[in-house]
């Protein structure tokens, strides 16, 4: 009897150890499904539910960041000019801001030049800034995608910064950080999807960026929302990831400040799209607007919901955003609105990796004072390592063009293992294009891209 009892206890103990070991191992040791071939003609998410929306029970039974399905894809500039790279899409499990299981998709790209193994990895959060699935990066970056013709011009344009990383020999992961419902501006959701996308990327052996690979984060404008929240969530949500630095510009630090700044301005069309996106992640906020939004606002919601960023921004600017809400007082102070704005505001925790932050002093979309406040919040922590530059010769769009190369140079040092400057360094620059080495870096990137037209693969330095 004693021997049988002991045997049962031993079996139970061994089972617990096996389950615990599997749980601790996480997605890095998970079995990756077979790689499907690239589709001849890419389909937008709305017509490709088998890949983008796996069964809910499958998603729920999968660990965050573990891959559910994978296929090869062909990526291209503006849907027309194919790139000579290896690329895949992965469908994986992530969590929404209420920690409920959701499906997510990311694009993994590897240059064909030689690299030290494991490859360094850059997670590039492109500014989708749209409320329709066909505007997502995973579709917009594919060869023969119609998204650039249908108004998604930001993702293909920003893709040049991802190609600059490929020219360095780094691997790249581009998450669809707005999630399956195109929840534009929902930062905590985007942060989780970004971190789980890195988990998926580092578990996918063909990418050659293993679980210990150094990882950088890059994002501007709408991409800064995902990047900033991922940086803040890293220590608690995905501490096993070796994230060595995060660069974010044109920072969406406080959506309430952006709302007030855009009221009755040319940028109100874009901010109204963010309002639509946020209703898809915050049910109480959605119910509030459903009850309080004037008929004009509801009509605009129906008209704008199927649009990508170019047409979202152009359709009926100069909107009185708060005036379309029948509130008892100031709409941003109403409880459902205030709760959403508080949840999406950056600065609740201090990122545990070095940060590079930049912002135009004359930004017309995302207010400078909100980024100043965020930096002040971070810099109260003596352990913070942060470089912040305010660019005085740009507006929102130009600031990425002149600041992006400086940010990538800074990330290159972090990925190469060069320690960041401790403490906070705050600069006011005439133009970040004058950052030492920035123009050379931009020139090298454009030269590498030009060389690919003649058969030189990215990463052959």
Rounded CA gap, 435 and 319, in Å? Answer: 38
Asked if pLDDT for residue 418 goes beyond 60, the answer is: yes
Point out the least confidently predicted range of 35-49, 69-83, 109-123, 414-428: 109-123
Distance between CA 175 and CA 33 in Å, rounded?
19
Q: What is the mean pLDDT of the chain?
A: 91
Rounded Cα distance between 164 and 188, Å, is: 27
Rounded CA separation 315/300 (Å) = 9
The model's confidence at residue 230, banded by pLDDT at 50, 70 and 90, is very high
Q: Output the CA–CA distances (angstroms, integers) from residue 411 to 69, 110, 170, 178, 239, in the order listed.
A: 30, 18, 11, 24, 19
Cα separation, 407 vs 251, whole angstroms: 13
pLDDT at 429 over 70: yes
pLDDT at residue 458, rounded to an integer: 84
Q: Which domains does the chain carry?
A: 27-254+345-452 (3.40.50.1820), 255-343 (1.10.260.130)
Helix (H, G, I), strand (E, B) or coil at 136: coil
Question: Which pLDDT value is given to residue 201?
Answer: 98
The per-residue pLDDT for range 383-408, each reduced to its tens digit, is 999 999 999 999 999 999 999 999 99
**Cα→Cα distances 184→133, 153, 177, 196, Å:** 11, 16, 9, 18
Q: Which pLDDT value is given to residue 26?
A: 45
Flag whether pLDDT at 423 surpasses 70. yes
- Helix H, strand E, coil C: the string for 181-247 is CCCCCCHHHHHHHHHHHHHHHHHCHHHCCCCCCCEEEEEECHHHHHHHHHHHHHHHHCCCCCEEEEE
Q: Mean pLDDT throughout 26-41?
A: 78
Q: What is the pLDDT of residue 118?
A: 86
**pLDDT number for residue 213:** 96
Query: What's the confidence (pLDDT) of residue 22?
Result: 35
**Separation of alpha carbons 75 and 305, rounded Å:** 26
Catalytic residue positions, numbered: 221, 363, 396
According to DSSP, residue 142 is labeled B
> Which residues are registered as beta bridge partners of 387?
356, 425
Q: Supply 288's token pair.
A: 């509030």
Both tokens of 296, joined, read: 């004009």
Given a cut of 60, is residue 180 above it in pLDDT?
yes
More confident residue, 289 or 27: 289
- What's the pLDDT score for residue 460? 64
pLDDT in tens, 184-201: 999 999 999 999 999 999
pLDDT digits (tens, 9 = 90+) for 70-122: 999 999 999 999 999 999 999 999 999 999 999 999 999 999 977 778 899 99
In this structure, the chain runs to a length of 461
């Amino acid at each position: 009897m004693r021997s049988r009892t002991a045997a049962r206890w031993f079996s139970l103990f061994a089972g617990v150890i096996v389950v615990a070991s599997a749980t601790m191992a996480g997605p890095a040791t998970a079995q990756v499904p077979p790689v499907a071939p690239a589709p001849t003609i890419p389909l937008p998410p709305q017509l490709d539910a088998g890949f983008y929306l796996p069964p809910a029970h499958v998603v729920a039974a999968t660990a965050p960041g573990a891959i559910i399905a994978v296929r090869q894809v062909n990526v291209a500039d503006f849907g027309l000019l194919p790139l000579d790279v290896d690329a895949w899409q992965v469908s994986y499990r992530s969590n929404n801001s209420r920690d409920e299981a959701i499906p997510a998709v990311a694009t993994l790209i590897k240059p064909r030049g030689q690299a030290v193994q494991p490859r360094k990895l850059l997670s590039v959060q492109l500014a989708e800034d749209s409320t329709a699935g066909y505007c997502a990066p995973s579709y917009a970056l594919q060869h023969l995608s119609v998204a650039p013709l249908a108004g998604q011009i930001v993702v293909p344009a920003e893709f040049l910064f991802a190609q600059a990383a490929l020219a360095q020999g780094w691997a790249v992961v581009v998450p669809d950080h707005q999630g399956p419902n195109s929840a534009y501006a929902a930062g905590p959701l985007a942060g989780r999807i970004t971190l789980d996308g890195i988990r998926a990327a580092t578990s996918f052996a063909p990418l050659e960026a293993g679980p210990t690979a150094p990882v950088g984060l890059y994002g501007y404008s709408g991409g800064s929302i995902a990047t900033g929240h991922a940086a803040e969530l890293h220590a608690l949500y995905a501490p096993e990831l070796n994230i060595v630095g995060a660069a974010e510009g044109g920072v969406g630090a406080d959506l309430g400040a952006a709302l007030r700044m855009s009221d009755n301005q040319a940028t109100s069309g874009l901010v109204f799209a963010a309002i639509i996106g946020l209703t898809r992640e915050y049910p109480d906020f959605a119910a509030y607007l459903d009850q309080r939004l004037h008929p004009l606002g509801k009509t605009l919601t129906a008209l704008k919901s199927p649009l990508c960023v170019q047409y979202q921004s152009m359709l009926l600017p100069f909107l009185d955003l708060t005036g379309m809400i029948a509130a008892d007082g100031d709409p941003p102070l109403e409880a459902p609105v205030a709760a959403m704005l508080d949840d999406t505001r950056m600065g609740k925790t201090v990122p545990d990796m070095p940060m590079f932050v930049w912002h135009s002093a004359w930004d017309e979309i995302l207010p400078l004072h909100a980024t100043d406040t965020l930096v002040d919040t971070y810099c109260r922590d003596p352990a913070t390592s942060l470089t912040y530059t305010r660019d005085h010769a740009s507006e929102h769009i130009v600031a990425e063009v002149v600041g992006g190369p400086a940010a990538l140079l800074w990330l290159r040092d972090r990925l190469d293992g060069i320690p960041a400057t401790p403490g906070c360094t705050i600069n006011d620059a005439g133009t970040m294009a004058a950052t030492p080495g920035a123009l050379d870096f931009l020139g090298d990137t454009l030269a590498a891209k030009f060389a690919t037209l003649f058969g030189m693969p990215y990463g052959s330095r």
